[in-house]
Structure 1
């Protein structure tokens, strides 16, 4: 059984995210694939499932630096990893150099890179100068990047995940400042701070910014509206980005980058396996993951309603065993099925 606790690691070509981003086309005949940070949901069990389906780099949920560096309980709750959870980027919400340097010192030995969240639009975070507030404070953001890279150089990979401004030239100026500060790569989410996720991502903006900073030799990752491999290729071809980050699409279908149009049953079995192996997840979080994956599979509506009314994990396991053929790790055919394996009394 693998540990859920992080182990110290050293950057090599195998786990160096910048090397992977720059060489994936040569080694795998495709651009790099990235599972982005999801508040609450990109925990260790889910990250491990994504890695089974051609995801090259995976992010943790955002961790607030001020809480992490001051509170041992936050450190225990917010970050778990193991030797197979690599390459791993830990995303941080931060608004000052001191907290960031302390955070990097504590976390960097146990991951493969740090990502500064400059895209979260949640009002509480923005009021504190965290998340998307940082794209309107380029001097602070650049000073944080510079402080980390000055102290650690290539020993710590540092990324910034930004949103776009209404004026794209303003975003280009920000990216140039980040390049000057030493950022290793930039992820661009093609929406402004106020753009709803229901509105299409602005690929024109990502293309414009990518072309403007191409000469800086800093890779650009495109983020937004990647729900299958046709989206992946469309985004790459249109924007000229060096790779694609998916977030919402992976929540419904963690096998997205494996070429599956909908979540395969095997991914759900893997998710159950890792959830149990690493000590479980809070019931409501577990239930939401299953809700998203089974929704992608087209679970019969009455069963879906039953699922959402289950109040604890032990009953949830019993419900799965009663209605479906849920294979465990080590059983023949584990994690191989595509369609929902209903038992005869549960077939729609």
Structure 2
């Protein structure tokens, strides 16, 4: 089912966060309709769409409208918008609301040059006057919650996240999610969780932390140490799709879910079904190769497997190759591969 205009089934994202604080971070080219449905079944809490252009909504771009598609299993679902003009973003938020989204998420964290050079994404953190107009306009334009995603600042000399959080609180923003790097850092170095903990102690607005959470243990550790209201997990889900289920069990001090298939062979079959439902054959092939590569990282023979699978042209061959590999590693533990660059990038 695609997006719907009904509001009867809406779920408040803040309420969902109290039951499960482990949120799937939006990632361009990754957190599409199919992957969000897949991750919700594996205990991801709140999910958010890929980055959606408010200008694209205004011009009714078919590609843009497709990015906002979801199904009821994904609730609470947020539609993430970016742009540089307050009026255009507010109109985009109204469209998101009309499509039945549970909340609107505004992106002020994306570091990608083509977004930043227009004054959108993390560039907005240098212009709090415009940001205030955007926040106020959006909150007034819709009845559903509005959240924002930011970075610690533009660079080390302009780490103004506290000012942004205060602005968010004063304008009625539901929560702030912060990636623990500056825009200048991109995805290099380490996320500054000490900064996030300090920010949480000083701000009144609910705060979600993001950056370098690659294991269930680190997710729970960061949540407890910082006092954040939730944490966003991005790349960690690309190498271990069970990270949400395991983190939730650990946080609740409960046994891991016994109904989950604890093997990548079964998991990848489930992902294939989700992708096949929502993707064209061309996109299906691309996504199968990407996720097979990510899921394989840290296992014996992964490097050769990645080379082999990207040589294949037929989707059935890709699926067969992936399933054979995942059967072969069922008795092995996954090694720490947090240093591997191909897992970097893709989100704000």
Work out whether residues 16 and 76 of structure 2, in 8 Å CA contact, stay in contact via their aligned partners in 1. no
Aligned length: 314
Residue aligning to 2:145:
157
**How far does the alpha carbon of each residue in 1:274-293 deviate from its partner, in whole angstroms, 9 at most, with x for none?**
11122443532332122111
Residue 297 of structure 2 corresponds to residue 295 of structure 1: yes
Q: Counterpart of 1:175 in 2: which secondary structure? A: helix
TM-score normalised according to structure 1 size: 0.82
Residue aligning to 1:332:
none
Alignment of 1:91-170 (within 5 A): 91-108=80-97, 109-152=99-142, 155-165=143-153, 166=156, 170=160
Alignment of 1:46-85 (within 5 A): 46-85=35-74
Work out whether residues 207 and 229 of structure 2, in 8 Å CA contact, stay in contact via their aligned partners in 1. yes
Structure 1 residues without counterparts, runs of 5 or longer: 25-30, 327-336, 342-348
Alignment of 1:226-265 (within 5 A): 226-259=213-246, 264-265=264-265
Root-mean-square deviation (Å): 2.7
Whole-Å Cα distance in 2 between the matches of residues 83 and 228 of structure 1? 28
Whole-Å Cα distance in 2 between the matches of residues 325 and 290 of structure 1? 9
Whole-Å Cα distance in 1 between the matches of residues 38 and 44 of structure 2? 9
Alignment of 1:188-203 (within 5 A): 188-203=178-193
Offset at 1:317?
Answer: 3.3
**How far does the alpha carbon of each residue in 1:275-326 deviate from its partner, in whole angstroms, 9 at most, with x for none?**
11224435323321221112255455433321121124243235456x3699
TM-score normalised according to structure 2 size: 0.82
Whole-Å Cα distance in 2 between the matches of residues 325 and 112 of structure 1? 36
Q: Counterpart of 1:18 in 2: which secondary structure? A: helix
Residue aligning to 1:182:
172
Structure 2 residues without counterparts, runs of 5 or longer: 248-255, 257-261, 333-348
Residue aligning to 1:19:
15
Whole-Å Cα distance in 2 between the matches of residues 225 and 19 of structure 1? 25
> Structure 1 residues 193 and 277 mapped into 2: Cα distance closer, same or farther (>3 Å)?
same
Whole-Å Cα distance in 1 between the matches of residues 103 and 331 of structure 2? 37
Residue aligning to 1:267:
267
Q: Any runs of at least 4 consecutive aligned residues in structure 1 with deviations exceeding 4 A, and if so which?
A: 260-263, 296-301
Residue aligning to 2:194:
204
